[in-house]
Amino acid sequence: MATDNSATRWVGPLLAALLALCVGSCGFNESNVAAGNRDGVFHFGNGTEPQSIDPHVMSGSPEVNIARALFEGLVTRHPHTMEMVPGVAERWDISEDGKVYTFYLNPRARWSNRDPVTAEDFRWSLHRSLHPQLGNQLAYTLFGIVGAQDFATGRNTDPESVGIDVLDDLTLRIRLNNPDPYFLSTMGTYPTYPVHRATVEAHGQWTDRFAQWTRVGNFVGNGPFVLSEWKLNRRLVVTRSETYWDREKVTLNAVVFHPIESATAEEKMFRAGQLHFTQLVPLSKIPGYQAMDNSPYQQHRWQGTYFLQLNVRRDPLDDKRVRQALALATDRQKIVNTVLLKTEVPNSALVPVNTPGYQSPPAPDYDPQRARQLLAAAGYPGGEGWPGMEFVFNTSENHRKIAVVLQQMWQEALGISITLANQEWKVYLDTINEGDYTLSRMGWIASNLDPATYLNIFTSESGINRTGFSNARYDEIMLELAPAEADPEKRNALMREAEAILLEEVPLLPLYTYNSKHLVQPSVKGAPPNVLDVQNYKYISLDPAIPVWKGEG
Amino acid sequence: MTTEVITDITEAEQGSSLWHDAWLRLRKNKLALFGGITLILFVIIAILTPWIAPYSYETQNLDLGATPPSAAHWLGTDIFGRDLLTQIMYGGRISLAVGFVATSVALIIGISWGAVAGYVGGRVDAAMMRFVDILYALPFMIFIVLLMVVFGRNILLLFLAIGAVEWLTMARIMRSQVQQLRQQEFVEAAISLGLPPSTIIRRHLIPNALGPIIVYTTLTIPSVMLLEAFLSFLGLGIQPPQTSWGLLISYGAETMEEFPWLLIFPGLALTLTLFSLNFLGDGLRDALDVRRSKD
């Protein structure tokens, strides 16, 4: 899971211009992509500078992109079929009742210092990932394991109480509270990645968030690549591991992660042949790319929802009718078709559209007439007496566009005015985590296809439910009934009921389901777009025979 | 013979005050005149905007989107389908106001501070200038951000905050000018005549230091306008749907390849204003230079 932080920076155009200048004047130099195609070096645009490469500390996409190269979980997802395939575990058993998972580790699995990867490594790492003093924001994704929640919240300080058992060096058993059809995919996510105990302990406490073990020279990992260079705000380089068990399959010699925050700068670099793969594509450039023959532009439905968070504790949003009125006065289709240039899919529910096996309950259509009635019933007929409201969003071109459109849309439909305020990403996170807002935006990207990933956000026990929404029936379904339900049909029905409560109470106002958008050099093979937008560098290769794409004209 | 000369001098002294002379000289300077007229025109347009703007500045036409200049929209529309001419007119109100108000604040503080320090000299001068040095050392962006965070977002406060950090250079220039002028005979004469320091500063020192001050002012106004755009972009200045030239330019720059008019026209408005200011400033400096012989 990762939060969406696509901050466009003021320096972007300037940087891009400087870069274009350099590319023009140093034209005799071979481009990154041409050299990379020949030498097997993959140049990857990675958004921002990673905060950490410790898999139990990270939570953002740029960090996770790097962790996938440096570590490997028990299982991993095949980027083409989206199936869970062997990682460190060569096979696994699931008990009849679906509550006990036994993983059999590959005896050839090695750390980058040639130590064998053992079941104890995983047990220790999972304890670390759950440890309350480490403060892993994603510890809750492991709460399906017996005793994990109590340990992670400090109710039980004994790690032995967690249902993770080492049967022998290469056999790990994990016990769950309830059968969970998505548990296997959880074991492929970064909060479950193993870290090397001796290395971590050599550089501090095991619960230190920012210790030196993640530095070049100290670092030990078990993934297909190892850390070889990390220049702050310039690049992070990983090179092919000599000890990785499946190293024959790895064809890339290195991956270079370029931290480029501005989509505009990234696109310019791509056109100059400096990147194989971009993290973002500037919205205004998309129609041009779509119209091209042999376009490097890749767009694919993504398991992510863009929504507004409504603080139900704040006036005037503490009145359900006001929240419903806002939802009814929001013309999603229009927003997507105009300012977003049809690059996203309108969604009036929380769970992304086309989630396999799940259908969100129907939400009321755009209906400004009904919205006006509701607002009048709430005491603001035609916007009279409206106390005003501030919409906070993190600084980004796209968020600003959406905010400006909503501001005017609600002004016209309801006669109410809202003010806009943008904040820098980290300030913004503080603001919403403290609940110090009336209306804000959020994007939520899932790392699996389980609808519960989304619905769990709004339980009253969730740390990321920043709206103050709390509903007894909703909690009952999402915390007790749905997790215990083994029949997928009945489980889905329960979740539909829960989602219907959300649509009725409107603590969130969904706008659209994301599409992932990348520019990819034609020489890149084995990186197909997929619904989770994950790439496994192990399967990626570069074809030196294919020339560098540098744009037309 | 002697009487004739005396009459001549009397006539000359009566016929031309400092300002009258300056105006005569300025009138001959075509570029300066053009700058002045353009500026006055812009200010009039800015004042009258609410009555003469062709469209509402907030009404969107999403289905229309960004369109190049046409008969209906002379300068085209932005991505929200809003008329760009209207946006520029409303943006000009904010940009010109920020430019003039913040610069005036900087001028008033800077000139009085620098003149006093330069005239009094000694320990007072040292203390006052060290204070300026300390403020210089503060990262001024952080200072403004802090002001905006503590006192909340408010356009008037934004003007004052920008002005409050822009006066430092002005104070230094003023001080050096005053120190130089103090040594001159006419100031010494004024002192020996027993004029109070405030009168000397007002009547003799400031008018004689006007040249560099005006030049620096014309440089301050554009930098203040750009500072406002930067602050607004960070979310500390003006928020949509209000706009300013700086903001229009920064938005336009993002889509300059697809919708070049969104960058070109606001850019033209700002450039024209800055050129006019510079021409006028140059002209005024020449016109007000009292050390030039009266011809």
> Is the dihedral angle over the CA atoms A550, A266, A406, B246 positive or is it negative?
negative
Q: What is the DSSP letter of A191?
A: G
Closest CA to B187 of B290, B112, B113, B281: B290
Place A112 in a pLDDT band, splitting at 50, 70 and 90: very high
CATH number for the domain spanning A88: value is 3.90.76.10
Backbone angles phi, psi at A377, to 5 degrees: -65, -30
**A308 domain-assigned:** yes
Go through B45-55 and write b for each residue having 16 or more CB atoms within 10 A of its CB, e for each that does not: bbeebeeebeb
At A460, the pLDDT band (50, 70, 90 cuts) reads: confident
Residues of B in contact with A395 (CB under 8 A): 233-235
CA atoms within 13 A on the CB side of A7: 24
In this predicted structure, the answer to whether residue A24 has a pLDDT above a threshold of 50 is no
- Shared domain check, A128 and A90: yes
pLDDT score, position A81: 83
- Interface probe for B, chosen from A284, A402, A423, A436 (most Cβ of B below 10 Å), is A284
Q: Are residues A498 and A530 in the same domain?
A: no
A294, A305 Cβ separation under 8 angstroms: no
Three-state secondary structure string covering A82-116: CCEEECCEEEEEECCCCCEEEEEECCCCECCCCCE
Q: What are the structural domains of chain B? A: 17-54+84-288 (1.10.3720.10)
The answer, yes or no, to whether residue A196 has pLDDT greater than 50, is yes
Q: Are A551 and A271 in contact (CB under 8 A)?
A: yes
B258–A338: do the CB atoms touch at under 8 Å?
Answer: no
Q: What is the pLDDT of residue A33?
A: 92
Span A405-433, mean pLDDT?
88
pLDDT of A350 > 60? The answer is: yes
Measured in angstroms, the CA of A57 and the nearest CA of chain B are apart by 28
A290 has a chain B CB within 8 A of its CB: no
pLDDT at res. B242: 82
Within 8 A of A338 by CB-CB distance, chain B residues are 62-63, 65
- In angstroms, the CA B160 to CA A165 distance is 66
Select from A166, A255, A511 the least CA-distant residue to A366: A511
Q: What is the dihedral of CA B183, B186, B189, B195, to 10 degrees?
A: -100
Identify the weakest region by mean pLDDT among A233-242, A488-497, B255-264: B255-264
Q: Domain containing A263: what range?
A: 1-70+207-296+520-553
Give the residue-averaged pLDDT of A175-197: 91
pTM beyond 0.95: no
Question: Is residue A79 domain-shared with residue A13, that is, in the same domain?
Answer: no
- Phi, psi of A321, rounded to the nearest 5 degrees: -65, -35
CA A406 to CA A422: how far, in whole Å? 15
The answer to whether residues A402 and A494 belong to one domain is yes
Q: Which of A194, A223, A256 is the last residue of a domain?
A: A194
Residue with the bigger pLDDT between A340 and A552: it is A340
| A201, part of any domain | no
Domain shared by A362 and A449, yes or no: yes
Distances, alpha carbon B277 to alpha carbons B216, B247, B249, B273, B284, in Å = 11, 20, 19, 6, 10
Q: Say whether residue B154 is in contact with chain A using an 8 A CB cutoff.
A: no
Check: CB of residue A173 under 8 Å from CB of residue A182.
Answer: no
Average pLDDT over residues A160-171: 94
- Edge-to-edge strand ranges of the sheet holding A171-175: A89-94, A100-105, A171-175, A164-168
Residue B16: the pLDDT is 61
What is the H or E stretch that residue B20 is in? helix B18-28
Residue A38 lies in a domain: yes
Whether the per-residue pLDDT at A8 is higher than 70: the answer is: no
For residue B61, the model assigns a pLDDT of 83
Q: What confidence score (pLDDT) does residue A279 get?
A: 92
Are A546 and A426 contained in the same domain? no
The CB density around residue B209, as the number of other CB atoms within 10 Å, is: 23
Task: Determine, yes or no, domain membership for A540.
Answer: yes
State CA B18 to chain mean position distance. 22
**Cα A280 from Cα A282, distance rounded (Å):** 7
List the pLDDT tens digit at each of the 295 positions of chain B.
Answer: 444 444 454 444 555 666 777 788 888 888 888 999 999 999 999 999 889 888 888 788 888 888 888 888 888 888 888 899 999 999 999 888 888 888 888 899 998 899 889 888 889 999 999 999 988 887 777 777 777 777 766 777 777 778 878 888 889 988 998 888 888 888 888 888 888 888 888 888 888 888 788 878 887 887 888 788 777 767 677 777 788 888 888 888 888 888 899 999 999 998 898 888 888 888 887 877 666 544 4
Same-domain check for residues A179 and A250:
no
User: Do A339 and A458 fall into the same domain?
Assistant: yes
Chain B interface mutation, best of A422, A424, A425, A440, highest count of B Cβ atoms under 10 Å: A422
Using CA atoms, how far apart are residues A381 and B21, in angstroms rounded to an integer? 64
Q: Does position A494 have pLDDT exceeding 90, yes or no?
A: yes
Domain with residue A478: its CATH number is: 3.10.105.10
Range from A263-272, A349-358, B140-149 carrying the lowest mean pLDDT? B140-149
Q: pLDDT confidence of A9, banded at 50, 70, 90?
A: very low
Mutate to test the interface with A, among B60, B77, B155, B261 (most CBs of A within 10 A): B60
Residue A15 has pLDDT above 60, yes or no: no
Same domain, yes or no: A304 and A445:
yes
Asked if A28 is an interface residue toward chain B (Cβ–Cβ < 8 A), one would say no
Is residue A200 domain-resident?
A: no
**Domain-embedded: residue A508:** yes
Q: B56, B62, B226: best mutation site toward chain A, by most A Cβ within 10 Å?
A: B62
As a whole number, mean pLDDT of residues A369-395 equals 92
In the block, tokens 């008018």 appear at B207
> Are residues A77 and A65 part of one domain?
no
How many domains is chain A built from?
3
Q: For chain A, give the percent of residues with pLDDT over 70.
A: 94
CA distance A342 to A545: 35
Contacts of A419 in chain B (CB under 8 A): 239
Q: State whether A43 and A147 are in the same domain.
A: no
A127 and A182 in a single domain? The answer is: yes
Measured between beta carbons, which residues in chain A are less than 8 angstroms from residue B241? 404, 407-408
The reply to whether B60 touches chain A by the CB within 8 Å rule is yes
Residue A202 falls inside a structural domain: no
In this structure, is residue A41 part of a structural domain?
A: yes
Contact A405 B235 (CB under 8 A): no
Mean confidence (pLDDT) of chain A: 89
CA distance A475 to A428: 27
Residue A253 maps to which CATH number?
Answer: 3.40.190.10
Closest residue on chain B to A397 (Cα) = B251
Predicted confidence at residue B291, as pLDDT, reads 61
Asked if residues A245 and A74 have their Cβ atoms less than 8 Å apart, the reply is no
Q: Are A284 and B258 inside 8 Å of each other by CB?
A: yes
pLDDT of residue A62 exceeding 70, the answer is yes
Helix (H/G/I), strand (E/B), else coil: B10: helix
